[in-house]
Amino acid sequence: MMKYTRRSFVKNFSMAAGAASLAPGLLLSASRARAATLAKGEPIKVGILFSLTGGLAVPEEDSALVMQYAIDEINEAGGINGSPIEPIIVDAKSDMNVYAQKMRELILRDRVISVFGCYTSASRKAVMPTVMSRDNLLFYPTCYEGKECSQNIVCTGPLANQHSQELIPYMVENFGKRVFFVGSNYVWPKESNKNARIWLDDAGGELLGEEYVPLGSSEFGSVLNKIRRAKPDFIFSTVVGASDIAFHRQFKQAGFNAEDMPIASLTTGEIETRAMGIEYGAGHFLSAPYFQALDNPTNKKFVDGFLGSKYGKSGVTHYNMEETYNSAYVFKAAIEKAIDENGMENVTPRLIRDAAAGVRLSADVSPEGEVWVDENNFNTWLVPKIGQCQEDGSFKIVKTADSHVEPLPYSIYPDAGTCTAQGLKLPSGSIRKDVI
């Protein structure tokens, strides 16, 4: 089993500091920087930007590995229009400044046609100014809070209305109305909890407290003391990475248990449970569109193939890994369409993005079952699921949505406008571009 450190890893979220840390040779002017180009038979270069070290490596390292696995699959099947995909793999080191720096390197120096990566919204927000200014494309393969409408991103994970909107009423119905929120201190947990408070109120629940710890923190003593005094029926957690592991361990060590007070999470899946020790995860809940336990032929092929490959060292699959795997096949379908419509030498990241609108992955490609990219907001239609961690570390699926749920990035902000392919359509009818 992989070992992870608990070291603190975030120095600063300032984008200005990230830009200032770049090597002078990478501060290229628009006139000097060349755009990515494609040529038949030549490798198609893409960036893989995840944290392979530091606290965020817990979920991100395996996403980098599964992306390489998917690329190998595609290349072994003939690549794209006769060209292999060439991954350029970068360690973001769980540091927001490094994410920003490495994105610039991938786009300006390595001239990749698209980048796959990031896990936290903090890292996504760190890289997107470069992605947008260079008109490149990020495939973002995990859950996030919404409230964005960028023309340079395709998201294959769930929005808040595709996971916590199902999870909150389920927990209230089955465990009680009294809830305590715990999250990492950055934009995704805070914005997710804005959504969760609305759905908690709709379900007749009561919020007893809301606490945030620094991203990367491993100290939860004061939070657990507040939980002990509040006596909630369950915890709603948006704690991520190594902090998530520390929280679950200290929760049990403090004498709490899942039978009396389960943790309902948006992030604690098979990888985190394996890393923390299954005794710390058993009995708790996760909302996600994918679980390793999904019983279908495509998932069996995916699980057996990945875990049997040189990349499958984690011993499990996980929602973030599967969403990353799917992003590779969305990219394949979109770039093939862009080539057919424009000719290979004319394909740009923007044309790939445009071609991704409406891309469907059938049930014989996507391990979670059929999914498709929304034609307007470039998020993905998914079937939400809720799983409970078992004593062996696997998840038993206890609830599945009746049908696919539309991704709604502004679900709790109806007056903000509607995300379209051209930008955010304001109530006035005007379009505002690159909202992030």
* Residues 88 and 116 placed together within one structural domain of the fold: yes
Asked if residue 286 is part of any domain, the answer here is yes
Please provide residue 138's backbone torsions phi and psi, each rounded to the nearest 5 degrees: -110, 125
pTM over 0.75: yes
Q: Return the pLDDT at 40.
A: 87
CATH code, domain with 236 = 3.40.50.2300
Structure tokens at 312: 């499958």
* Residues 280 and 349 placed together within one structural domain of the fold: no
CA dist list (Å): 297 to 97, 301, 304, 382, 386: 41, 6, 11, 18, 20
CA dist list (Å): 367 to 232, 284, 289: 36, 23, 10
CA dist list (Å): 418 to 273, 366, 422, 433: 37, 28, 11, 12
Asked if residue 436 is part of any domain, the answer here is no
| Per-residue DSSP letter, 80 | B
CA angle centred on 270, ends 394 and 405, rounded to 5° = 95
Q: Return the pLDDT at 309.
A: 98
* Residues 208 and 249 placed together within one structural domain of the fold: yes
Q: Backbone dihedral region of 377: left (phi > 0), alpha (psi from -120 to 50 degrees) or beta?
A: alpha
Per-residue pLDDT of the chain (436 residues; tens, 9 = 90+): 333 333 333 333 333 333 333 443 444 444 345 678 898 889 999 999 999 999 999 899 999 999 999 999 999 999 999 999 999 999 999 999 999 999 999 999 999 999 999 999 999 999 999 999 999 999 999 999 999 999 999 999 999 999 899 999 999 999 999 999 999 999 999 999 999 999 999 999 999 999 999 988 999 999 999 999 999 999 999 999 999 999 999 999 999 999 999 999 999 999 999 999 999 999 999 999 999 999 999 999 999 999 999 999 889 999 999 999 999 999 999 999 999 999 999 999 999 999 999 999 999 999 999 999 999 999 999 999 999 999 999 999 999 999 999 999 999 998 999 999 999 999 999 999 988 8
CA angle centred on 425, ends 423 and 427, rounded to 5° = 160
- Domain range spanning residue 241? 161-293+385-400
Strand partners, 184: 213
* Residues 153 and 166 placed together within one structural domain of the fold: no
Selection from 371, 367, 368, 389 nearest residue 380 by Cα: 371
* Count of positions (residues) in the chain: 436
* Residues 169 and 73 placed together within one structural domain of the fold: no
* Residues 263 and 320 placed together within one structural domain of the fold: no
* Residues 169 and 254 placed together within one structural domain of the fold: yes
Q: Half-sphere exposure of 245 toward its Cβ, with a 13 Å CA cutoff?
A: 22
SS3 8: coil
* Residues 41 and 80 placed together within one structural domain of the fold: yes
Asked if residue 407 is part of any domain, the answer here is no
* Residues 23 and 131 placed together within one structural domain of the fold: yes
Selection from 154, 158, 159 nearest residue 335 by Cα: 154
Cα(222)–Cα(199) distance, integer angstroms: 27
**Identity of the residue numbered 225:** N
| Residue whose token pair is 């500091």 | 17
Asked if residue 75 is part of any domain, the answer here is yes
Asked if residue 363 is part of any domain, the answer here is yes
Asked if residue 100 is part of any domain, the answer here is yes
Cα(436)–Cα(434) distance, integer angstroms: 6
Selection from 160, 150, 225 nearest residue 187 by Cα: 160
Q: Return the pLDDT at 391.
A: 96
Counting the structural domains of the chain, the total is 2
* Residues 105 and 152 placed together within one structural domain of the fold: yes
β pairing state of 395-400 and 385-389:
antiparallel
Who's near 48: CB < 8 A, 6+ residues apart?
Answer: 64, 67, 68, 87, 88, 89, 90, 115, 116, 117
Q: What is the pLDDT of residues 261-299, one digit of tens each?
A: 999 999 999 999 999 999 999 999 999 999 999 999 999
Cα(14)–Cα(431) distance, integer angstroms: 28
Selection from 316, 320, 168, 312 nearest residue 233 by Cα: 168
Element (DSSP H or E) covering residue 388: strand 385-389
Asked if residue 241 is part of any domain, the answer here is yes
* Residues 134 and 34 placed together within one structural domain of the fold: yes
Q: How far is CA 308 from the centre of its chain?
A: 24
Cα(69)–Cα(223) distance, integer angstroms: 40
Selection from 94, 95, 123, 114 nearest residue 36 by Cα: 114
Q: Edge to edge, what strands does the sheet with 418-420 contain?
A: 418-420, 423-425, 431-432
* Residues 28 and 135 placed together within one structural domain of the fold: yes
- CB 246: neighbour CB atoms within 10 A? 20
Asked if residue 411 is part of any domain, the answer here is no
